Structure 1
Amino acid sequence: MSNRIGRHHRARLLLRGAIGAALVTSGAASLAQLTTATLRGTVSGANGAPVTVTAQETGTGLMRHAVTGRDGSYTLPGLRPGSYTLRFEAAGLRATRDVTIGVGQSATLDIALAPAAAPAGQGAAPASPDKNAIIVTATRLVETRTSEVATNVTTQQIQNLPQSSRNFLNFAQLAPGVRVSTNPLRKTFSGGSVGQDPNGDSLASPQVNVFIDGVSLKSDIQQGGIVGGDSSRGNPFPQAAVQEFRVLSSNFKAEYEDAGTAVISAVTKSGGNSFHGEAFGFFQLDSLRAKDYFQRRNAAAGVADEGKFSQKQYGASLGGPIIKDRLHFFVAYEANEQKNVQSVTIGQQTPDNIARFGRYQGSYTSPFREDLGFAKLSLEASEQDRIDLSGSIRKEHEMAGFGGQTAYEAGSRTANTVYTGRLRWQHDAGDVSNEASLNYLYYKFDPSILSPDQVGQNFDSALRIGGASTSQKVVQKGFTLRDAVTISNVDFLGGNHVFKTGFKLAFQDYTVNNALNANPVYNYANRPDLNEDFSQPFEAQYGVGNPEVRAKDTQLGLFAQDDWRVTDRITLNLGLRWDYETNAKNNDYVTPPDAAAALRALEAVLAPQGSSFRAADYISTGKNRKPFLKAIQPRVGASYDLFGDQRTVVFIGWGRYYDRTLFRNAAEEALFRQYTSRSFQFSKDGLPRNGQPTILWNPAYLTGGRAALDGLIASSTAPAGELRIIRNDVKPPHTDQFSLGVRQKVGRLISGSISYQHADARDQVGYYPVNRSVARNAAGFLDFIPVTGFSDVVAMTQARASKYDAMFVTFDKAFTRASPWSLNIAYTLAYSKERGYSFNFDFPDVAQQPFRPNAGNERHRVVVSGLAQLPLGFQISSLAVFGSGQPFLVTDQRNGAGAGLVLGNYGNSKAFRQVDVRLTKDVPLFRTGAKLQLIAELFNIFNRANFAGYDGFLPQAPATNPSFGVPNTLAGPPRTFQFGARLTF
């Protein structure tokens, strides 16, 4: 039976009160700028007369209206991102502008009226567009008067920059301070280096969030930040359905939740009054790909290459009218079929290891299949009302979990499933814009063991062989209601205000099934000082019991913000947010009596040593864990237009941002009690080791597998496994962000910025062993303290913290018909350090650890992208990434494995360099308006061997590690050609 976790009556009463207050506050619904944009400005030349402002969307013909206030100011909130024709009209006066505005922008457009006979800004009619050109239909507005640090990634960039996997999140690295994972099996991104662990992976959520049409893809259970982002090479959404997105790197507004460092907000395409669509196909073959570093090394050693790489990506999209001007549709489908090559290599390349494990080395195929779909209906019910109904599907299967120092047979079959649905209504009534949405999210992560008939064997610093140890099933599903109101053109306190206020209410249902070590794994180590070698295991781990926990959780978020235009030069961004969860900490869990007794006994032993451990802080009665009520998040900023022309703008901002602890952290406390991973310590003599009892080794324990270990459990010679505990007062992690900078426009096409960013992240989750002595023994070790009935007591700590300081520099030159090339540069100079790791077994008190560089401490990073129109219908584009290299984790035991141990990210990795290029040729198809685009792409054109992981172990003298600093995994592909075609109409 599963452990069902309920909600408290008191929490429900509080939640009802908060919802009532939110309804009174908001009155109506608005998603603020998760999916929309705001245009504001001042109209001059009307001599005090009111000016009618009309915005007509190019694709659908939908119109929005506003009237200027007494000072000539106007605001158009809730605009769908895209291209508009703007008309400004008063008695005998008129002006017209064609503009494009991006998602999430609060753009400013000031207009001077002219007599209607000579409309301002109107010249000769534009020439007919070149059907071979990159389409740019209007002037893209550049947002300057804001304290947010954000980057908009346009449709042109998504469609035209080189892209190997069609994962639109890869373009998030066009924003400074944001890094995309180079691990092909973990499609994540990070901001501010928070949450980075050894070798660049994150064992906790890196405190990011992704919204697609306002639907949050936040993973409440699994690692990776967003659903499906962990342990998968798949894409979160069909790229053909993404219109554009916005990357918020720092100081984002109060409407954004569940993110401490970075947010991506994307909007999807919609159908219009004419039919538009595309069909595409791309392929990569093994013959079009150079051998990577490890394949070449294995070939030189005479190791057979058993893997053949290939990739096929194909799909189609279509949008158009069902009822002209009223009802439109859009659908998209994409498939991705891959056969990837994973190289298995021995860690420490000693003669003994090569003789023992050489047969496992080689390159093996890892097959993968993903299907992505999206559909949307858009109803223009009236000039004031728009209703959208949309849904998406993601299904994928993969053979993964091997490569590096893990043999093929130790892999897993991974399955990911994500469904989303959304019903959205927007109503505009003058200066009040209302939106409401009901969202649904279903996510299932379901990996299984590839070789369940083989026990696992892990030879430390050499190779992992045998079957995988763990199967899982993680399910997250829930409904979310978002409700708010935007009120514009409010003249108050001598300025013009845009007020936004609203709430989010989510009902979540979680399932965590984690059969940890259900397939036994035997650990080996070469430790002469402990009389251990590879001839027999020193430990076996084996899980038994019920591996499933279920829970329900209700989440509430309230926000209010004010964009206050104090003067024509000064704009203030003032916001406040509050978040609350009823069951983030497994509140109804009751600590079993044997566990509570063990914790009290452990406190009695540790107290005389000066330990601060208090058993009562971790013993749950089912009534003493209260929801966290202090997630109050002020977010403030200001911008100052030095000359009043939007060209030189100074900005400053500060804010607090709460993320959330993964529910899995709380679930594992219950899971480790009802499902136990037993640890059996073996030795050659059966004597205690480091104060811990051992079992005299018998080869039957290995050949007998599960049955032999079941016998050990039945004979009660092994403890009940790990006791995992969390504090009753667990808090969600938070980040305080500060930024200061200046933006500069040069002419109509060039803009840039330079800014200083600081992030201080606290209350991050880590774990440490409690049953260790506070003081070190003569050898420098923390003595093991036996705990009745348990092998270890591992407690959650929130003393883990990060600090990030950086300088961001951006340069952007826009693409136009008159100047048909673009260039975008994002430079980051960063210093990142961290106190503590995910698992801290080398210090008695994490809070007393020093801040040391974390794996995200890459000093310099430059991302350059650009595209250009060439003669004869050719276009060229490029994306280049240059990084000074991330440090890797070093475990230095040369001065002793105890007090002399030095642990930190000090390894000097090689610089990262990858340059990708795309060349396209457009072929018009007769006079139909359709176009065939032939595409050739080359990734990593210089065939740079970029590494992601290194051997960082330095053993205690006199032993040595000849493989120290030797790379064991790659970050990115070898030189690879991709060819494709795209038909558009």
Structure 2
Amino acid sequence: MKASMQLKKKLLVSVIATAVVSASLSPVHAQSANATLRGKAAPGANVTVFNPQTGLTRKAKAGDDGSYVISGLPPATYRIDAGPGTEQDVTLQVASTATVNITAPAAAATSASASDATALQGVSVAATTIQEVKTPEVGQTISLHQIATIPQVSRNFLEFADTVPGMVFSVDYKGNTSLRGGAMNDSSANVYIDGVSQKSYVKQGGISGQSGSQGNPFPQLAIGQYKVITSNYKAEYDQVSSAAITAETKSGTNQFHGEVFGTYTNDAFRNRTPAEKYSGSKADSESKEYGFALGGPIIKDKMHFFIAYEQKKFQTPVTVIPNSANISHFNGQDPSIFLPESARAQLGPSNVPFNEKLYFGKIDWELTDRDRIEISTQVRRETQVGGIGTGLAASTGLNNSNHDTRGTFKWQHSGESWFNELMFTYENAFVKASPFNDAPGYIYTSPLDQDNILLNTGSADPRATQNKSQEGPSISDTFTFNDLEWKGDHVVKFGYKFKSVELRAQDAAANNPQFYYDVRADGGTSPVPWKAFYAQHIPGEDGIAQTTARQYGIFAQDDWTVNDHLTLNLGVRWDYEVTPSYVNYVTPQRVLDALDTQDPGAPTGQTFRQTLANGGININDYISNGRNRHSFRGEWQPRLGFSYDLFADEAHVIHGGAGRAYDRNLYDYLQLEQTKLNLPQTNLLFNVPDHGCDVRRTDCIAWNPALLQGQAALEALNIGPNSGQEVDMMNNKLKAPYSDQFSLGMSNTIGEWITDATVSRVISRDGFAFTLGNRYPAGNYFATESDNQYFTDGKDHRGDAAWTRGIPGLGGLILGNNGISTRTTQVLLSAQKPYTPESGWSTSFAYTFSHAKQNRDINEHYAFEEPTIQDFPVLTSNAVSKHRFVGTAAVDLPWGMNASIKLTLATPIPYTANACYGAFAENGSSCTPSVGTPRGSKFLIGGDIWGYRDIDVQLTKDFVIDKDTKIYARFDVLNLFNWKNYADYTANWGSNGVFNSNGVTYNRHGNITFVPRTARFTVGLKF
């Protein structure tokens, strides 16, 4: 081995240079789901791993010191052989590095759980599952046994990530699912299936198609196992700044195997929601899920196939209620009683239909004992009704469609001491939303809460019409050296990635104008609107933005085993993305001209550009000439980790790490600079009592009832496409959001138990936010007493934001910047006893303590409550509970039965809002961004501290037909004790200048998170 070191070093330098040059071509996202096997054997021994189920064979020669490494092994059960008498059967987990020492006959594998019974060539053997413990990554692996036994509300394989400390899988009152890591939003996470990133580049949600969807990103029947990494992932992971999930799909084997299932429930098998009990009526609901999977040989030991199909059909109950408002402004009463009768009639129970079909197909081919080819495709087709629920009446509903098609070609080649994986992918994903109705909409607002919207009725907002997509190919190559020695053993991996993806976005349509009405406690709902919002046609423009983004990335990673105790993981990656529609954008001349016109009401000669300068805004930072913008090149991401095995037996390991991870700015934000001008979106103000406006501006007119006729009547005003038009401008030096991650912990293997205690610190910066650029002539954002001159209603508007002080001749100015930040410290405790057939049971416990701060609601990228994003106070985060516990247990029972239980407890999540209570802040605002935490409920200990409580159980009975065939029946009860996990809040922030720190409570007649007590029935066949 040492004799060939010089040659290997030269080869390494040569290949690195080649990869760097190749990176100029451009990157995908190949975060491998494969496993690496390493350990000690007799010096010079030939180590062979063989999977009798598929015929896969890989070989390596042990070095002079007996060390060996075999990379690129699909997670499976293998027979390892290093000579007569050394045979072992081991199971390798997804995206892991396993240590197996085979220096003596039948040596026991280290860091292993008790053996699992696994079929090799039709014979049941004891295969030891190797647990990865020498890793700085913070996370856990979800096994197929957990997926098969733990109760779940929907067949979304990501739901089981909830059992990992630091992770939260949630189901909102509409049935929409989301997955978050730490105190960051779901857009910062990423999922990799067979090494392929599923990232959404346009919409929120992290994964394409998961924004506001009840669906699954992938058929659960096709998932073998997956790994959840909450922080300190290695350098190969890209476009992620919170949690990374890497999943391995099932493959066919030398025997035909399959499964068919069906799951059903409806409203007869569930309790009423709190809103249904309050209204006395129960909405229809139904859930159907069914599917099949089949895998087997095409050529024994050479080629196999696997296919899966799943479908779900839902009718999910929701409740239409007003948005939260400060009830002190309504004399402590429910604001809904002041709505007009036509609006109140639309409150109460409703439901939203959903239909999804998922397909997956895969062929693997063991071309030689060194080459493996995989070809796979996945298809997602779903339709659902959206836009109904809190603040949204059923009349504002949307017909949503969500399509995703992907294909992957992968070639893996194993050399004597190296491994290479080349991958090509193609994807085509899009989402569309269109309104139920083509008619005017009526929006009811609370003026004392800075015009907070209480309820939308009539029809969906023009901005709800959406058509957004991402489509394009990618290529990646990852090269791994298994056999380098220098002060220990090194496994060095490096790669390059390129992706060319066409991004497309339609942000609105010229339909459904919206009319805004005040709702007050002293007068009910105003008979006339104070504002109209509508989108205007411009001949020759379609309001669609389109660009072809190019994404590049390179990385290098060294897993360095210094000795039997210390392992170092040293990596660095660099990413670069070019979005031409942002870089090459030219600010229209009409916007430049408007900026340099007289600001109405300002001293003679003062332009709006100068007004902005008075407020500290240099508008030149946002004006693009097509040459002064450049893509951010600073995405260097060092990632360093270590693990120290105290006694060199993998029983007690200290681990830690530090690293930086960059994500990306969503195209959904960047495209607004273009689409808002291509399809002007106009705010037309009416000079009416209680809502006067500046009649010197073209977007302020007298009210005319004829305008209620709709779109044609508003466009007939001929005020021009510029008047009242929103103008979005991006900072010329946008950066990419990122997080810095630090962790220190210790894992222990005690018998069959695996425990871990870790302290994690994550600091995220440069999240994207829109702020309002409007300013009063003196440059102030909030009105002073002298600014009352710009209103004609005779009222005191001190503290009002400059909503009516946009660009002269145009409308509101919206500025896009980086600036959202979070700071999170978590204590992550876990204990697992993995399942083995010998013991017949398993259990897991996960506890998370979170201390999280943020300067903006992580789910909201519009930040209009303060002049700039830097002006927002740092508050307790509304992203995560302070305390969260998840426990599971599963056990085999007599007569072919098994049972399991899942307990979830969490303290209330804080509520953030702009608190208006009759006081002025130092900056002149009449409202202040604030946070409050509602009182929870009881569970055994701690008093009224729990905001989320849930116990789910399941019981399964197998009916064995023969040794390879069985029918099973499964019964799940979700939310066994029918606990109310409230989702809506009521706030009383105070009045007369006195802040009420205990004013946030749950709306006990509103929507709930998760489900009421529900029974689900499943039958299936496995063969």
Structures share fold, TM-score greater than 0.5 = yes
Superimposed CA distance per residue, residues 488-544 of structure 1 (whole angstroms, 9 cap, x where no aligned partner): 02111x110000000111010111112157311112223589x99432222111012
Q: Alignment partner for residue 213 of structure 2, among 232, 239, 242?
A: 232
1:140 to 100, 113, 129: 129
1:269 aligns with 2:250: yes
CA distance in 1, matches of 2:653, 2:695: 65
Q: 1:608 to 1:402 in 2, by over 3 A?
A: closer
1:142 Cα offset (Å)? 1.2
Question: Who is 1:424 aligned against?
Answer: 410
Alpha-carbon distance in 1 for matches of 2:696, 2:656? 56
Give the Å deviation of 1:227. 0.7
SS of the equivalent of 1:158 reads helix
Q: What is the match of residue 260 of structure 2?
A: 279
Matching residue of 1:97: 88
CA distance in 2, matches of 1:473, 1:29: 26
SS at match of 1:970: coil
Assess, with a 3 A threshold, how the Cα gap between structure 1 residues 25 and 96 changes in structure 2: closer, same or farther.
farther
- Whether 2:248 is the aligned partner of 1:242: answer no
User: Given the superposition, is the C-alpha separation of residues 576 and 711 from structure 1 closer, same or farther in structure 2, using an over 3 Å criterion?
Assistant: same
Q: What is the distance in 1 between the residues matched to 2:161 and 2:109?
A: 35
- Superposed displacement of residue 274, structure 1: 0.4
Contact 1:890–1:954 (CA<8 Å) still a contact in 2?
A: no
In structure 2, the partner of 1:847 is: 870
CA distance in 2, matches of 1:854, 1:121: 44
Mark the CA change 1:217 to 1:584 in structure 2 (over 3 Å): closer, same or farther: farther
Contact 1:32 1:78 in 2 (8 A): no
Change over 3 Å in CA distance of 1:222–1:380 after alignment to 2:
same
Moved more, 772-781 or 673-682: 772-781
Q: Residue type of the partner of 1:966? A: N
Q: Secondary structure at the match of 2:912?
A: strand
Change over 3 Å in CA distance of 1:585–1:107 after alignment to 2: farther
1:789 to 809, 825, 829: 809
The residue type paired with residue 342 of structure 1 is: V
Q: Write the letter of the residue equivalent to 2:972.
A: E
Summarize the Cα distance change of 1:734–1:701 in structure 2 as closer, same or farther, 3 Å threshold.
same
Structure 2 partner of 1:823: 843
The answer to whether the Cα contact below 8 Å between 1:40 and 1:106 also exists between their aligned partners in 2 is yes
- Given candidates 643, 651, 655, the residue that maps to 1:651 is 655
1:970 aligned onto 2:1008: yes
Deviation, structure 1 residue 711: 2.3
Matches within 5 A, 1:282-293: 282-293=263-274
The alignment partner of 1:941 has SS state of coil
The equivalent of 2:285 in structure 1 is 309
1:701 paired with 2:707, answer yes
Number of matched pairs: 932
Deviations 1:629-654 (A, max 9, x none): 11111101111111111111111101
Check if 1:923 corresponds to 2:959.
yes
Matched, 1:481 2:484: no
Q: Deviations over 1:609-635 (max 9, x none)?
A: 3x3311221111111111211111110
Which of 728, 752, 755 in structure 2 is aligned with 1:752?
A: 755
Partner of 2:82, secondary structure, is strand
User: Structure 2: where are the runs of 5+ without partners?
Assistant: 1-14, 324-333, 447-452, 598-606, 786-797, 937-946
Q: Which residue of 2 aligns with 1:451?
A: 437
Q: Deviations over 1:561-589 (max 9, x none)?
A: 00000111000000010011122662121
2:830 aligns with: 810
Letter in 2 for 1:908: P
Describe the SS at the equivalent of 1:75.
strand
Name the SS of the counterpart of 2:862 in structure 1.
coil
Matches of 1:628 and 1:424 in 2, distance apart? 31
User: Would the alpha carbon gap of residues 909 and 675 (structure 1) be closer, same or farther in structure 2, given more than 3 Å must change?
Assistant: farther
Identify the residue that residue 519 of structure 2 maps to in structure 1. Answer: 526
Of 650, 674, 684, the residue aligned with 1:670 is 674
Cα contact 1:888–1:909 (8 A) shared by 2? no
Identity of aligned residues (%): 32
What are the Cα deviations for residues 682-720 of structure 1, in whole angstroms up to 9, with x where unaligned?
242498448996432232222x111221123x0459824
Task: Kindly provide the amino acid, as one letter, of the partner of residue 85 in structure 2.
Answer: R
1:508-547 mapped onto 2 (5 Å cutoff): 508-515=501-508, 518-526=511-519, 533-545=525-537, 546-547=542-543
Displacement of 1:19 after TM fit? 10
Asked whether the equivalents of residues 95 and 121 of structure 1 are also in contact (C-alpha less than 8 Å), the reply is no
Q: Identify unmatched segments of 5+ residues in structure 1.
A: 1-16, 196-204
Q: Distance in 1 between matches of 2:820 and 2:948?
A: 28
Match of 1:336 in 2: 312
Q: 1:497 to 1:323 in 2, by over 3 A?
A: same
Residue 151 of structure 1: aligned partner: 140
Q: Does the CA-based 8 Å contact 1:521-1:540 persist in structure 2?
A: yes
Question: Which stretch of structure 1 is more off in the superposition, 458-467 or 546-555?
Answer: 458-467
Taking only aligned residues, the RMSD between alpha carbons, in angstroms, comes to 3.0
- 1:34–1:213 contact (8 Å) kept in structure 2: yes
Question: How many angstroms does 1:680 deviate by?
Answer: 1.1
Measured after TM superposition, the shift of residue 744 of structure 1 is 0.8
In structure 2, the CA distance between the partners of 1:285 and 1:533, relative to structure 1 (3 Å rule), is closer
Between the aligned partners of 2:289 and 2:715, the Cα distance in structure 1 is: 48
The Cα offsets for residues 783-808 of structure 1, whole Å up to 9 and x where unpaired, read as 45342122211101212211111110
TM-score, structure 1 length as denominator?
Answer: 0.90
Q: Please say if residues 297 and 303 of structure 2, whose CA atoms lie closer than 8 Å, have aligned partners that are also in contact.
A: yes
Aligned to 2:152: 163
SS in 1 for 2:536: strand
Structure 1 residues 431 and 476 mapped into 2: Cα distance closer, same or farther (>3 Å)? same
Are 1:904 and 2:904 an aligned pair?
no
Contact 2:22 2:496 in 1 (8 A): no
1:960 offset after TM fit, Å?
Answer: 13
CA distance in 2 between counterparts of 1:251 and 1:129 reads 33
- Alignment match, 1:4: none
SS at match of 1:206: helix
The amino acid that maps onto 1:943 is N
* Corresponding residue of 2:683: 679
Cα distance change on mapping 1:489 and 1:32 into 2, 3 Å: farther
Are 1:39 and 1:108, in contact at CA under 8 Å, matched by a contact in 2?
yes
Distance of 1:789 and 1:34 partners within structure 2: 54
Q: What is residue 198 of structure 1 aligned with on the other side?
A: none
How far 1:22 moved relative to its partner?
2.8
Structure 2 Cα separation of the partners of residues 973 and 136 of structure 1: 42
Match in the other structure for 1:725 = 729
1:318 maps onto 2:353 in alignment: no
The 8 Å contact of residues 526 and 534 in structure 1, kept in 2 or not, is answered as yes
Give 1:76's aligned residue.
70
Distance change (3 Å), C-alpha of 1:454 and 1:76: same
Q: Secondary structure at the match of 2:148?
A: helix
Structure 1 residues 959, 368: closer, same or farther in 2, change over 3 A?
A: farther
Task: Say which SS state the counterpart of residue 598 (structure 1) adopts.
Answer: helix
For the Cα contact (< 8 Å) 1:26–1:485, is it kept in 2?
no
2:495 aligned to which of 502, 505, 510: 502
Instruction: Describe the SS at the equivalent of 1:810.
Output: strand
The amino acid that maps onto 1:210 is V
Q: Is this contact kept in 1: 2:265–2:286, CA < 8 A?
A: yes
Counterpart in the other structure of 2:179: 189
C-alpha separation in 2, matches of 1:436 and 1:978: 43
Is residue 467 from structure 1 mapped to residue 459 from structure 2 by the alignment? yes
| Greater CA drift, 27-36 or 973-982 | 27-36
Secondary structure at 1:171's aligned position in 2? helix
The 3-state SS of whatever aligns with 1:526 is strand
Match of 1:943 among 956, 978, 981: 978
1:283 to 1:669, Cα distance in 2 relative to 1, 3 A: same
Offset of residue 952 of structure 1: 3.3
Instruction: Rate the CA distance shift 1:56–1:891 in 2: closer, same or farther, 3 A.
Output: same
Residue type matched to 1:341 in 2?
P
Check whether the contact 2:339–2:519 (CA below 8 A) recurs between aligned residues: no
